[in-house]
Amino acid sequence: MLGLNYLAWVGIVSWIVVPLLALFITALLWRYSHTVPGKGLALVAGVAILSVPALIANGIKSHYDQQVRELCAKDGGVRVYETVRLPTEKFNQWGQVNFYRPDQGENALGSEYVLRTDVQYFRRGNISLRRYHVQVIRHRDGLLLGESVGYDRGGGDLPGPWQPSSFSCPKHHGETVIDSIFISNQGVQK
């Protein structure tokens, strides 16, 4: 229909049709109200109409955020099956491994370890719902050292020039599966 996609129509309705409708209803109620409270109600009606698209978008995002929480409660989180002690020179000043190269795919942890990442989409589009599964495997014996499962929602906002919002679970607070598996020898008595 007119060559516009779904998101373009949502934008047109949200940013043109709804404000025009709010202006029309407010003007109509204002004109036929002969009292101060009546004119105040006309303004409240206009503001209420203007807020409907944002309320709907927030309700939809809340629905998917709840799904993320439920999925995360089932199998989300970091699981470490074996830790690897490394010398302190293998870590940066923040305690993170310094040999991690995210642009190297499965070889992101060098030749000794395999970093496998699997992304499963439950929903794509303006609102996306994804499951991330990350595994760290020792190359020489194929042993799974640890894994992390997380879920996230992206988008669902009103169309506009801003970045879409997101929600993810679990919140790692800086702790990833890599940081949990590889630990420093610092402070270990020999």
Q: What is the pLDDT of residues 128-147, one digit of tens each?
A: 999 999 999 999 999 999 99
pLDDT at 59: 94
Is residue 91 located within the same domain as residue 174? yes
If asked whether residues 118 and 151 sit together in one domain, one would say yes
Residues 82, 35 share a domain: no
Residue 189 falls inside a structural domain? no
Domain count, the chain: 2
**Domain shared by 152 and 112, yes or no:** yes
Domain check: are 106 and 147 in the same one?
Answer: yes
Q: How far is Cα 136 from Cα 143, in angstroms, rounded to an integer?
A: 9
Residue 130 and residue 162 in one domain: yes
Q: Which region holds residue 156: left if phi is over 0, alpha if psi is between -120 and 50, else beta?
A: left
Contact predicate 152/166, CB 8 Å: yes
| Pair (56, 113) in one structural domain | no
For residue 71, tell me if it sits in a domain: no
Task: Give the residue-averaged pLDDT of 91-105.
Answer: 87
182 half-sphere exposure, CB direction, 13 A CA radius: 22
Query: Side-chain half-sphere of 186: how many Cα atoms within 13 Å?
Result: 10
In a domain, 125, yes or no: yes
**Mean of pLDDT over the chain:** 89
Q: Find the mean pLDDT for residues 48-54.
A: 94
Q: In which domain, by residue range, is 16 found?
A: 6-60
pLDDT for 173 equals 42
Residue 175: pLDDT band with limits 50, 70, 90: low
- Residue 69 within a domain: no
* pLDDT given for residue 100 in this prediction: 87
pLDDT at 190: 46
